[in-house]
Amino acid sequence: MICCFYLTQRWPELGQYLKHCCKGEDVKKACTFTGAQIGEFLLNASNIDRWILVRKAICVFAVCGGNRMDELRRMKPTDVVAVPEGYNVTFSHAKQQQHKKEHTFLIPRNKEGPVCFASVIQAYFEALNKDLPERKQDILFFTGQKQKKSGVSRFLDQPIGVNTISDTGKVIAKFLGLESPERYTGHCFR
């Protein structure tokens, strides 16, 4: 921002040219989910379908931690510790170059409300332990197979990619029947 200010001060024609280029530009802002929409998805989406379950887990981590999609991709199972209040998660910010310090957030166990974030994570870990008992220990999110007509769905021993993690908002928006699901990018949880 300071660099742009300096350049436009030094060369005023550049500032006029940039303003001219932006005229008529239709900026599309990414949509965000409301708390009710997140709750509806977590309550109504199936825990049996592993393809959906991994997206529920990604949603919980993103909502509770306010994480970027790349930060979710780099998390490890050792970063998640069960505590009586839920799960403590430790991570490093993706865009913090100088001060690489770890941050912690809690995925709460809610006994009174309709949605318990910790129970979603518990269901995810239980399904992983059932489907992949000998899995890689440096990966938190695994690819889930869509549920077939036979009712079978399982996790594959393959890490989920950052693009698939980023598309989680679009999948949730489609599930909820929201308008313009393509506008629910990786920022929809923040």
Q: Domain of 86: which CATH number?
A: 1.10.443.10
* 21 domain residue, yes or no: no
Name the pTM for this structure.
0.81
Order of all β-strands in the sheet with 80-83: 80-83, 86-92, 102-108
* 159 domain residue, yes or no: yes
The pLDDT assigned to 110 comes to 84
Q: In whole angstroms, what is the distance from residue 137 CA to residue 182 CA?
A: 33
Task: Please answer whether residues 157 and 142 qualify as being in contact, where contact means their C-beta atoms are separated by less than 8 angstroms.
Answer: yes
In the chain, the percentage of residues whose pLDDT exceeds 90 is: 45
Closest Cα to residue 172, out of 162, 159, 186, 158? 186
Per the structure, the complete domain to which residue 151 belongs is given by 35-183
* 13 domain residue, yes or no: no
pLDDT tens by residue, 33-51: 998 999 999 999 988 999 9
Q: In whole angstroms, what is the distance from residue 33 CA to residue 179 CA?
A: 12
pLDDT tens by residue, 65-100: 888 888 888 899 999 999 999 999 998 776 656 566
* 153 domain residue, yes or no: yes
Number of domains the chain is built from: 1
